[in-house]
Amino acid sequence: MSTTIERLPESVRRKSSAPIIEIRDLCKTVSVGFWARKVEILRGITFSVNEGDVFGLLGPNGAGKTTTLKVLLGLMKATSGDVRLGVSGLADLGYLPENPYFYDYLSGAEFLRLAAQLCGVEGVESEARVEALLNDVGLSDAADIHLGKYSKGMLQRIGIAQALVNDPQLVLLDEPMTGLDPVGRVEVKAIIQHLRERGKTVLFNSHILADVAELCTRIAIMKAGVVIWEGHVEEALAGASDLEQFFMQRVTA
């Protein structure tokens, strides 16, 4: 896989298609502490992600980005609002959690085999897919090493590999660049770009705005449980020198 990042032509990037994720007025309230104090994490967020988009979900810590992904996955139940996924359930979805931790006692290949089995991918197909993914994320040489001995960057890459083991149409990545060195970042960006070229839809959270500007077609900015801006990256860059400046303008406004 190539590790150079190229931006697709704007005509391609702006190509609109059917929404694969539609979120309307999504609210999530949780109970905290002994007295079950109610805290609103999501306060009526609305945005949609089109098929083939690489969509960046941005926002400061505590904005509700991870909670939004958890509701999409069914790890949390929405208090109110609508979530519609244009894929056939979890079988067509891949997910990388933030700061992933996997089973220390499994080797990289064993872990991917387990992920494949859980997705219903078995036998020869499973073996072929595991081998290809290990190759794609550059971990072929570490296939038989236990995950407990993997570096943070290697864990991030095996995490991406497990998210792709079922060849999903929709991929959700929670902070995929966190903790990676420059080489690891370039490799992860190449994986996302490769997914985009294959027509997959990617939704990812990131604090590294340069990467978002480089990879994303559209973005949404969240703050304190609401979406304060949604649109194409070009629109954001039109009134600011870079995405960081635009982000700061919106978040501090």
Partner 1 sequence: MRRVFAIALNTFKETIRDRILGVIVLFALAMIAGSLWLASISLDEAGRMMKDFGLVAVTLFGLVVAVFVGASLVHKEVEKRTVFVIFSKPVGRAEFLWGKFLGLCATLFVVVAAMGAFLFATTWYVAHAPSASILLAILLIYLQLVVVVAVTMLFATFTSPILASVLGVCVFVAGQLSHNVFSLTKLGHGPLVKVASWVVFYAVPDLSAVDVKASVVGEDVARWSSVAFWSAYLAAYVVLALLVASWAFRRKEF
CA dihedral 68→8→52→163, nearest 10 degrees, is: -60
Among 6, 61, 77, 241, binds partner 1 (CB under 8 A): 77
| Stretch of residues binding partner 1 (CB under 8 A), selected from 14-22, 113-121, 216-224, 242-250 | 113-121
Nearer to partner 1, 106 or 251 (CB): 106
Residue whose CB is less far from partner 1, 74 or 231: 74
Residues 178, 231, 229, 25, CA torsion sign:
negative
Stretch near partner 1 under the rule CB under 8 A, chosen from 34-42, 57-65, 86-94, 215-223: 86-94
First-to-final CA distance of the chain: 41
Smallest gap from Cβ 90 to partner 1, in A, equals 4
Please pick, from the candidates 68, 166, 193, 205, the single residue that binds partner 1 as defined by CB under 8 A: 166
Buried b (16+ CB within 10 A) or exposed e, 192-216: bbebbeeebbbbbbbebbebbbbbb
Q: How are strands ordered across the β-sheet holding 170-174?
A: 93-96, 170-174, 201-205, 54-58, 218-223, 226-232
Contact status: 101 vs partner 1 (CB under 8 A)? yes
For position 201 contacting partner 1 by CB under 8 A, the verdict is no
Rounded (10°) angle between helices 108-118 and 152-163: 30
Q: Are 145 and 108 in contact (CB under 8 A)?
A: yes
The verdict on 114 binding partner 1 (CB under 8 A) reads: yes
List the structure tokens of 73.
């996955």
Say how far apart CA 88 and CA 18 lie, in whole Å.
15
As measured in angstroms, the least distance from the Cβ of 218 to partner 1 is 23
73 belongs to the binding site for partner 1 (CB under 8 A)? yes
CA 60 to CA 82: how far, in whole Å?
24
Smallest gap from Cβ 12 to partner 1, in A, equals 29
Q: State which residue, 102 or 246, has the beta carbon closest to partner 1.
A: 102
Of 10-18, 33-41, 73-81, 244-252, the segment contacting partner 1 by CB under 8 A is 73-81
Among 55, 102, 150, 246, interactor with partner 1 by CB under 8 A: 102
The residues that touch partner 1, with contacts defined as CB under 8 A, are 30, 70, 73-77, 89-91, 93-95, 97, 99-103, 105-106, 110, 114-115, 117-120, 122, 159, 162-163, 166, 172
